Structure 1
Amino acid sequence: MVTKFIAIGLLGSALVALSDAAATKASQKAATTASPTVGGLLAVSSPAWLASITPIAGLPSGVPSGTVPSGALATSIPGFNLSAYPAGWKTPPTNSAEVAAVISALDWTKVPAAPTRKGKSNGDLVTTGYNENTDPFCWWSDTNCVKPKVDYLPEDIYHCPRPGDWGLTYDDGPFNPSDFSKLGDSPWAEPNLYNFLAAHDQKATLFYIGSNVVGFPAAAKRAIEDGLTICVHTWSHPQMTTMTNDQVVAELYWTLRAIKESTGVTPRCWRPPYGDVDDRVRAIAWQMGMRTVVWDEDTNDWNMPGDGGGNLSPNVVDGYFQGWIDAYKNGTDNASGHIVLEHELNNATVSMAEKWLPTLQTTFNVVPVHECMNISNPYWEDNFSYATENGSTISADSSSTDMSSALSTAPPAALETDNESGALSASASAADSKPSTSGSSVMTISTLSAVMTAFLAAACLM
Structure 2
Amino acid sequence: MKELDGFNIPDLTPTADGSCVGDPVAAAAAADRGWWTCGGHTRLTDIVSCPDKMTWGVSFDDGPSPYSKTLLRYLDEKDLKATFFVVGSRVIERPQILVEEYMQGHEISVHTWSHRPLTSLTNEQVVAELGWTRKAIKTVLGVTPTTMRPPYGDIDDRVRAISLAMGMVPIIWTSSPSKIPFDTNDWRVAGGLVTGPQSFETFQSILGNASTMDTGFIVLQHDLYQITVELATGYTLNAAQTHNPPFTLKAIGDCSNIPITNLYRETTTNTSFPYSNTSDANSDTSAASSGTSAKNGSSTSGASRSALDHAIPGLGFIILAASTVMLGGSLL
Same fold (TM over 0.5): yes
* Aligned partner (choices 223, 240, 256) of residue 360 of structure 1: 240
Residues 394 and 337 (structure 1 numbering): CA distance in 2 closer, same or farther, change over 3 Å? farther
RMSD: 2.9
- Mark the runs of 5 or more structure 1 residues left unpaired by the alignment: 1-102, 148-153, 177-188, 386-392, 399-403, 412-439, 448-458
Q: Tell me, in whole angstroms, the C-alpha distance in 2 between the residues paired with 1:258 and 1:338.
A: 29
Is residue 2:131 matched to residue 1:253?
yes
Please state if 1:381 is matched with 2:261. Answer: no
Greater gyration radius: 1
Compared with structure 1, are the counterparts of its residues 395 and 312 closer, same or farther at alpha carbon in structure 2 (3 Å cutoff)? Answer: farther
Q: Which amino acid aligns with 1:145?
A: H
**Cα distance, 1:114 vs structure 2:** 0.5
Q: Could you tell me how far apart the structure 2 residues matched to 1:248 and 1:327 are? A: 34
Partner of 1:347: 226
Matched residues in 2 for 1:217 and 1:374: separation?
28
Task: From the superposition, tell whether residues 336 and 352 of structure 1 become closer, same or farther in structure 2 (CA, over 3 Å).
Answer: same
Amino acid at match of 1:115: T
Deviation at 1:192, TM superposition (A): 1.2
Q: Structure 1 residue 302 and structure 2 residue 187: aligned?
A: yes
| Equivalences for residues 168-247 of structure 1 within 5 A | 168-176=58-66, 189-247=67-125
Alignment correspondent of 1:410? 299
Calculate the TM-score normalised by the size of structure 1: 0.56
Q: Which amino acid aligns with 1:221?
A: V
Aligned to 1:276: 154
Q: CA deviation at 1:193?
A: 0.9
Distance in 2 (alpha carbons) for counterparts of 1:198 and 1:264:
23
Match of 2:255 in 1: 372
Identical columns (%): 35
Bigger relative contact order, structure 1 or 2, given CA contacts below 8 A and separation 6+?
2
Match of 2:197 in 1: 315
CA contact (8 A) 1:207 1:230 kept: yes
- Give me the whole-angstrom Cα distance separating, in 1, the residues matched to 2:114 and 2:131: 12
Partner of 1:161: 51
Contact 2:7 2:165 (C-alpha < 8 Å) held by counterparts:
no
8 Å CA contact retained: 1:231, 1:268: yes
Give 1:12's aligned residue: none
For 1:204 and 1:243, how far apart are their aligned partners in 2? 29
Whether contact under 8 Å (1:155, 1:407) holds in the other structure is no
Tell whether the 8 Å contact from 2:147 to 2:170 is kept in structure 1 after alignment. Answer: yes
Q: 1:143 to 1:258 in 2, by over 3 A?
A: same
Aligned to 1:141: 37
Instruction: Kindly indicate whether the alpha-carbon contact (under 8 Å) linking 1:117 and 1:125 is maintained by their aligned counterparts in 2.
Output: no
Post-superposition CA distance 1:302-350 (Å, at most 9, x none)? 010x4xx23211111111222234455xx6x132210111000101100
2:32 partner amino acid: P
Q: For residues 362-408 of structure 1, give each alpha carbon's deviation from its aligned partner in whole angstroms, at most 9, with x where no partner exists.
A: 3201111111111112111227x8xxxxxxx999989xxxxx63345
Give the TM-score, by structure 2 length: 0.77
**Separation (CA, whole Å) in 1 of partners of 2:21 and 2:252:** 28
Unpaired stretches in structure 2, ≥5 consecutive residues? 175-181, 276-292, 301-307, 318-328
Match of 1:445 among 315, 319, 328: 315
Note the 1:427-442 alignment, pairs <5 A: 442=311
Give me the whole-angstrom Cα distance separating, in 2, the residues matched to 1:315 and 1:395: 48
Q: Describe the SS at the equivalent of 2:85.
A: strand
